[in-house]
């Protein structure tokens, strides 16, 4: 059925949106009566028969006014979407099983409030939002993730029934966005740290145990090392001080695929590794990650944690090209 | 198969699956709107529902409001089912049926009152609103007056507002109402087009239930003491007439209704004529020019058309009965206009069927001996003299014209003529006819209306139920039936000026008839003229009127196909207009962006186009290098733009105005002269 598919593609614009912001023109807004709208039409027909039978002139007027109202409601429902500007935002990574939030910035250039805009991915929960007149709002469209990887959620349906609920206008948004879904972490005890492999590694410099004085804070320093008492004594203008530690075993922790129980499945092993990364990060350990075919050098901090988790998320995928809706 | 788990933790309001009608639990704040819908649509029916039903409905709605206010759970379903079954049984008992107009309306009202009791989803709420629309229609079964029409608009606004509240979430009440009124205003052109052009079908489509025309007032098919005087207590309009020329004198306005020729000692009735007499056509000869006029009859569910005595030209589908009243083929069930011509001066049935003359002499035996004795004294005289004697008796002796006569016993005529002597027109007419018959003169009672009041606002002569009257007719050889009005002998003012002049102040006449102050009378005249226009143009807009209106607009012989086509075209045009009205002129960009673009465009015209990639400050630097005379202004504008766009003072109105002023402050362009 290639003809039907291409018709659908043409009719519903299944291709991803390339131009940003997405502006909803009449070409991509669809509108059909809702069940309530059909009920309304049936009620009007029955009323018309009654009005003819009993010769009720005012009854005719009532029915005609309601019919007009139905037509006007259609226009208003359409206009509730028409001309809406949407800009997709950056999608924060989540763990499998959590809700991924796909943010959209909405801009309304009209003088009327746009109400009850409902966003949803196919088969997912709906988020609804009111957009003030000549204003902006943001909405996060949620997607319940199930498995790790790069999540392409497909298109978003933006629908509205406002004002009277007799019609449903909708549009498909298909921004090129994807979400990194980390494996669901399984928390187990960390493997034993291995002795330092590199002889030239500086011992005692950046340890965690012994307090070794204060120094101005750099952006990479974790907040829990800030010397709040010292900060409180100083004026606002000066940079915060952080406590410096020395000594202790600045051991290197290698979180390796080979250390996980080999009887578990590959996904479970990735989950265990994810749990280790989280635990190691919480313990402020310096850790590296060894996966089949990939190795991340020992490191520490937010960025290191993120790159480790991403490596785990995309393990086995050819990292670049997002696969289409592998979650659904 | 992966089990799908729906997470409802979204940023906005969570809701159920998309696509289907949301089965949202109803918002707490939407319920008062729905209760208002129930009250507005079911409430006015209290005027004609049995009292217990109104009480039930009011109580249920109050109960629901209390549950809402206390945030209590709704009653269990079995209780509601019991309540519904009980109400249906009670309605069946009260009306004797579940079909028909009144019982049907009562059922709808019960459903409307009980539905809010089990309303938990948006779908339930929609059912309430749809039921409300339907209930609004049923009001017009009872009244289609101007106030009802105004109520229509208000109620629809409320119902629409309820729908907006249901689908749009919490908003200020004024915002919701304003939006509802806006929608209604935009729907009005569609209503007018449809009203004018929708091909009208003459109803009814099928047989109407028995009670469809109950509650219509007017003359009835029999007359006993009190029948006419009771009718007189109503100020309601019976019909309106407009004469082509000057209307005749008030004392000549006898509008003929049913004719009664059978008396049983208490009640006068119209006797079914023997077939032979019924076939004989009346022979009517008018003397003098006939008066042309048309009457708009209110529905009275009888066949008589209340033509002026005596009708010489009749509207189609009607005929003169052997007893000379104009009868339509079908009872008048909707307000209808009829055209007549009548002659006030006439000869009717100079040759009369023997069966009719015989009936006009019949009297019940052995009652009213004193009246018979009086009549036999006169019997030897010629018939005109007998009638004159009777009228002279009414005029000269101590008779009173009153709405509050004494009660009469079995010998009613004797008691009235010799003892109480207090009566209304039906007493005088029946006593006169009794006397005539007892004296051997063929006579009968005619009921109808007498007089009427000219409304100077629209020129219509208004005849009310209070103008109901009864008079007598006797048959004279060579002259046919001649009218004698004994009431005129007792109270000449009744015939010459109307009932309010004839009755003393203490009599219980309706207020609307007895208006003393001029401005009140004028106000009433204006209101009734407005009603008349409403009746003719809004309520009387039937298939025939539709053709008339369209041909007056220059469309000869419109058929339903043409009407449907033009309807579609006009509705399309209206839709286009509404769309353009609600459409934003242009998808307006951000005002800051617009002002900056305007400024850049102005510079482009001056020879320095801004490159797409150039930021405001970079652009200002370049302008400073290339066109030093514009440097200061461009620097200023770029500064405002950068501040508005990226700085802390975004959406600062004053700054925006200054940016907009920069364009105007640019020096005028130098024209390139060669």
- pLDDT for B19 equals 38
Name which of B5, B137, B584 is nearest A59 (Cβ-Cβ): B137
CA neighbours within 13 Å on the CB side: how many for A113? 17
Taking the CA of residue B247 and the nearest CA in chain A, the distance in Å comes to 31
Mean pLDDT of B498-527: 75
Given a cut of 60, is residue B5 above it in pLDDT? no
Residue A69 contacts residue A164 (beta carbons within 8 Å): yes
The residue-averaged pLDDT of B506-533 equals 78
DSSP 3-state of B76: coil
The distance of A122 to chain B (nearest Cα, Å) reads 8
pLDDT score of B178 = 92
Compute φ and ψ for B284, nearest 5 degrees.
Answer: -125, 130
Record: contact A63-B7, CB cut-off 8 A: no
What pLDDT does residue A43 have? 94
Specify whether the CB–CB gap between B194 and B571 falls below 8 A. yes
Q: Which residues contact A80 (CB under 8 A, 6 or more apart)?
A: A114, A115, A116, A117, A160, A162, A163, A169
User: Is B212 part of the contact surface with chain A (CB cutoff 8 Å)?
Assistant: yes
Question: What percentage of chain B reaches a pLDDT higher than 90?
Answer: 22
Only one residue has tokens 């029946």, namely: B430
Take residue A29 and report the two structure tokens written for it: 């807004």
pLDDT value, residue B14: 39
Quick one: tokens of B635?
């620097």
What is the model's pTM? 0.70
Note if the bond before B550 is cis, omega within 30 degrees: no
CA distance B194 to B196: 5
Among residues B45, B139, B427, B469, which one is catalytic? B469
Residue B625 phi/psi, 5° resolution? -75, -45
Chain A residues in contact with B573 (beta carbon < 8 A)? none
Q: How much is the average pLDDT of B634-657?
A: 80
Total Cβ atoms within 10 A of residue B674: 2
Rounded to whole angstroms, the Cα distance separating B103 from A156 reads 51
Distance in angstroms (rounded) separating the CA atoms of residues A91 and B11: 14
Give Cα B197 distance to the centre of its chain: 20
* Per-residue pLDDT, A38: 94
| Closest-approach residue (CA) in chain A for B17 | A125
pLDDT band, residue B537 (cuts 50/70/90): confident
H or E, element range at A159: strand A156-160
Nearest C-alpha neighbor of B261 from the set B350, B328, B343, B325:
B325
Average pLDDT on B322-329 reads 88
A72: chain B residues, CB-CB within 8 Å: 183, 186-187, 190, 578
* Cβ–Cβ under 8 Å, residues A32 and A171: no
Q: Does B22 have pLDDT greater than 80? A: no
- Kindly report, residue by residue over B567-605, the tens digit of the pLDDT: 888 888 888 887 777 665 555 556 777 788 888 888 888
Q: Are strands B237-243 and B291-297 parallel, antiparallel or unpaired?
A: antiparallel
**Which residues in chain B have Cβ-Cβ distances shorter than 8 Å to A83?**
584, 587
- B13 falls in which pLDDT band (50, 70, 90)? very low
Interacting residues of B137 by C-beta distance below 8 A, sequence separation 6+: A47, A50, A51, A56, A59, A62, A63
Radius of gyration of chain A (CA): 29
Residue pointed to by tokens 């805009």: A117
The pLDDT-based confidence of B181 (bands split at 50, 70, 90) is: very high
Residue ranges of chain A with pLDDT lower than 70?
A: 1-2, 9, 12-20, 194-213, 218-222, 234-238, 244-251, 318-328
Cβ(A77)–Cβ(A31) below 8 Å? yes
Tokens representing A35? 């069940």
**What integer pLDDT is reported at residue A169 of this predicted model?**
93
Helix (H, G, I), strand (E, B) or coil at A187: coil
pLDDT tens per residue, range B379-438: 888 999 999 999 999 988 888 888 878 778 888 888 898 988 888 888 999 999 999 999
The pLDDT, as a whole number, for residue B277 is 67
Mutate to test the interface with B, among A95, A101, A126, A173 (most CBs of B within 10 A): A126
Contact residues, chain B, for A58 at CB < 8 Å: 140, 144, 148-149, 152, 538-539
pLDDT at B162 (0 to 100):
93
Half-sphere exposure of B127 (CA within 13 A, CB side): 17
Total Cβ atoms within 10 A of residue B43: 18
The set of residues, in sequence order, having a beta carbon less than 8 Å from that of A11 and lying 6+ positions away, is: none
Is B17 in contact with A121 (CB distance < 8 Å)? no
Query: Is B600 annotated as catalytic?
Result: no
Strand runs labelled E in B249-386: 254-260, 262-263, 268-269, 284-287, 291-297, 307-308, 311-313, 318-320, 326-328, 336-342, 345-348
pLDDT for B422 equals 86
ipTM more than 0.95?
no
CA distance A67 to A42: 11
Q: What does the pLDDT look like over B36-64, one tens digit per residue?
A: 999 999 988 988 888 999 999 999 999 99
Contact A109 B588 (CB under 8 A): yes
Which residues, at least 6 apart from B159, have a Cβ–Cβ distance to it below 8 Å? B37, B40, B41, B129, B132, B133, B136
Beta bridge partners of A202: none
Q: Would you kindly state where each structural domain of chain A is located, as residue ranges?
A: 9-182, 210-313
User: Tokens in use for B71?
Assistant: 């945030």
Chain B, 589 to 618: residues with Cβ < 8 Å from chain A are: 589-590
Rounded to whole angstroms, the Cα distance separating B164 from B184 reads 12
- Answer yes or no: is pLDDT of B1 > 90: no
Ramachandran bin of B105, using left for φ above 0, alpha for ψ from -120 to 50, beta for the remaining angles:
alpha
* Secondary structure in 3-state letters for B485-529: CHHHHHCHHHHHCCHHHHCCCCCCCCCCCCCCCHHHHHHHHHHHH
* Sign, CA torsion B478/B481/B487/B492: negative
Of the residues B300, B425, B467, B600, only one is catalytic, namely B425
Domain ranges for chain B: 28-170, 222-502, 591-665
Q: Could you give the 3-state DSSP secondary structure of residue B474?
A: strand
| Dihedral angle, C-alpha A12, A16, A17, A23, nearest 10 ° | 30
* DSSP label of A114: E
Per-residue model confidence as pLDDT tens digits over B99-144: 778 888 999 999 999 998 888 888 889 999 999 999 999 998 888 8
pLDDT at residue number B143: 85
Closest to B293 (Cα-Cα) out of B330, B256, B343: B343
What does the mean pLDDT of chain B come to? 83
pLDDT digits (tens, 9 = 90+) for A55-105: 888 899 999 999 999 999 999 999 899 888 888 888 899 999 889 999 988
Of B133, B120, B148, the closest CA to residue B31 belongs to: B120
Distance CA A291, CA A294 (A): 5
Interatomic CA distance for residues A93 and A303, integer angstroms: 13
Structure tokens at B652: 């600062």
Q: State the Cα–Cα distance between residues B625 and B565, nearest whole angstrom.
A: 68
Higher pLDDT, B552 or A34: A34
* Residues in chain B within 8 Å Cβ distance of A71: 187, 190, 571, 575, 578
CA distance B430 to A192: 125
Q: Is the previous residue joined to B310 through a cis bond, with omega within 30 degrees of 0?
A: yes
Q: Any bridge partners for residue B482, and if so which?
A: B474
A61 CB near a chain B CB, below 8 Å?
A: yes
């Amino acid at each position: 059925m290639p003809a039907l598919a291409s018709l659908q593609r043409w009719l519903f614009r299944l291709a991803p949106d390339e131009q940003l912001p997405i502006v909803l023109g009449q070409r991509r807004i669809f509108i059909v009566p809702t069940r309530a709208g059909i009920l309304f039409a049936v009620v009007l027909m029955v009323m018309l028969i009654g009005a003819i039978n009993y010769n009720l002139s005012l009854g005719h007027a009532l029915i005609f006014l309601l019919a007009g109202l139905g037509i006007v409601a259609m226009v208003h429902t359409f206009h509730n979407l028409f001309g809406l500007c949407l800009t997709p935002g950056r999608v924060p990574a989540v763990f499998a099983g959590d809700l991924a939030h796909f943010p959209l910035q909405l801009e309304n250039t009209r003088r009327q409030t746009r109400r009850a805009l409902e966003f949803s991915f196919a088969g997912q929960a709906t988020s609804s939002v009111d957009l003030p007149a000549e204003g902006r709002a943001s909405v996060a469209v949620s997607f319940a993730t199930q498995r790790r990887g790069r999540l392409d959620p497909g298109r978003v349906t933006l629908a509205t029934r406002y004002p009277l609920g007799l019609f449903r206008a909708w549009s498909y948004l298909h921004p090129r966005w994807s979400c990194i879904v980390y494996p669901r972490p399984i928390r187990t005890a960390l493997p034993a740290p291995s002795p330092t492999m590199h002889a030239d590694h500086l011992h005692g410099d950046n340890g965690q145990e012994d307090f070794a004085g204060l120094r101005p804070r750099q952006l990479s320093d974790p907040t829990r090392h800030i010397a709040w008492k010292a900060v409180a004594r100083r004026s606002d203008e000066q940079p915060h001080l952080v406590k410096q530690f020395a000594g202790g075993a600045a051991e290197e922790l290698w979180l390796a695929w080979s250390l996980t129980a080999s009887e578990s499945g590959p996904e479970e092993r990735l989950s265990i590794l994810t749990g280790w990364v989280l635990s190691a990060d919480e313990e402020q350990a310096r850790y590296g990650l060894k996966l089949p075919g990939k190795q991340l050098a020992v490191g520490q901090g937010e960025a290191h944690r993120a790159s480790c988790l991403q490596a785990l998320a995309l393990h086995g995928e050819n990292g670049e090209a997002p696969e289409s809706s592998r979650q659904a | 198969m992966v089990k799908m788990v729906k997470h409802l933790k979204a940023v906005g309001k969570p809701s159920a699956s998309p696509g289907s009608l949301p089965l949202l639990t109803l918002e707490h704040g939407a319920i008062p709107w729905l209760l208002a819908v129930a009250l507005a649509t079911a409430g006015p029916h209290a005027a004609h529902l049995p009292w217990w039903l109104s009480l039930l409905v009011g109580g249920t709605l109050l109960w629901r409001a209390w549950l809402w206010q206390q945030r209590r759970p709704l009653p269990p379903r079995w209780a509601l089912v019991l309540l519904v079954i009980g109400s249906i049984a009670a309605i069946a008992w009260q009306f004797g049926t579940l079909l028909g107009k009144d019982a049907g309306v009562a059922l709808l009202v019960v459903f409307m009152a009980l539905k809010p009791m089990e309303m938990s989803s948006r779908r339930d709420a929609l059912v309430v609103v749809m039921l409300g629309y339907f209930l609004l229609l049923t009001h017009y079964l009872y009244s289609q007056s101007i106030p009802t029409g105004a109520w229509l608009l208000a109620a629809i606004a409320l119902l629409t507002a309820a729908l907006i509240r249901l689908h749009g979430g919490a908003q200020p009440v004024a915002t919701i109402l304003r939006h509802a009124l806006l929608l209604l205003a935009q729907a009005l052109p569609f209503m007018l087009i449809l009203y004018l052009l929708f091909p009208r079908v003459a109803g009814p489509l099928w047989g109407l239930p028995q009670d469809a025309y109950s509650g219509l007032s007017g003359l009835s098919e029999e007359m006993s003491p009190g029948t006419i005087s009771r009718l007189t207590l109503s100020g309601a309009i019976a019909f309106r007439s407009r004469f082509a020329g000057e209307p005749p004198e008030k004392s000549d306005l006898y509008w003929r209704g049913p004719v009664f020729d059978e008396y049983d000692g208490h009640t006068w009735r119209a006797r079914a004529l023997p077939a032979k007499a019924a076939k004989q056509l009346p022979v009517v000869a008018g003397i003098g020019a006939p008066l042309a006029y048309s009457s708009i009859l209110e529905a009275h569910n009888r066949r008589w058309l209340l033509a002026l005595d005596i009708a010489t030209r009749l509207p189609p589908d009607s005929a003169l009965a052997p007893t000379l009243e104009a009868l339509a083929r079908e009872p008048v069930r909707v307000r209808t206009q009829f055209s007549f011509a009548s002659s006030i001066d006439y000869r009717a049935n100079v040759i009369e069927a023997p069966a009719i003359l015989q009936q006009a002499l019949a009297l019940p035996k052995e009652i009213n001996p004193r009246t018979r004795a009086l009549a036999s004294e006169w019997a030897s005289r010629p018939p005109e003299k007998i009638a004159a004697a009777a009228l002279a008796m009414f005029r000269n002796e101590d008779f009173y014209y009153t709405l509050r006569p004494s009660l009469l016993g079995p010998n009613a005529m004797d008691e009235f003529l010799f003892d109480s002597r207090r009566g209304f027109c039906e007493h005088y007419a029946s006593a006169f006819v009794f006397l005539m018959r007892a004296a051997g003169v063929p006579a009968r009672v005619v009921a109808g209306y007498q007089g009427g009041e000219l409304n100077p606002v629209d020129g219509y002569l208004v005849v009310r139920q209070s103008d109901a009257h009864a008079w007598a007719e006797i048959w004279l050889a060579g002259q046919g039936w001649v009218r004698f009005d004994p009431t005129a002998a007792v109270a000449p003012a009744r015939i010459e000026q109307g009932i309010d002049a004839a009755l003393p102040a203490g009599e219980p006449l309706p207020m609307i008839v007895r208006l003393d102050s001029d401005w009140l009378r004028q106000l009433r005249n204006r209101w009734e003229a407005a009603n008349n226009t409403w009746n003719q143009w809004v309520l009387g807009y039937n298939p025939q009127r539709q053709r008339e209106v369209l041909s007056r607009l220059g469309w000869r012989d419109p058929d339903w196909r043409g009407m449907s086509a033009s309807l579609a075209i006009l509705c399309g045009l209206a839709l286009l207009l509404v769309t353009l009205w609600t459409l934003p002129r242009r998808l307006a960009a951000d005002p800051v962006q617009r002002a900056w673009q305007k400024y850049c465009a102005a510079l482009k015209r001056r020879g320095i186009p801004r490159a797409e990639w150039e930021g405001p400050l970079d652009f200002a630097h370049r302008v400073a290098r290339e066109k030093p005379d514009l440097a200061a202004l461009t620097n200023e504008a770029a500064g405002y733009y950068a501040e508005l766009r990226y700085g802390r003072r975004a959406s600062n109105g004053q700054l925006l105005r200054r940016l907009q002023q920069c364009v105007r402050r640019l020096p005028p362009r130098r024209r390139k002269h060669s």
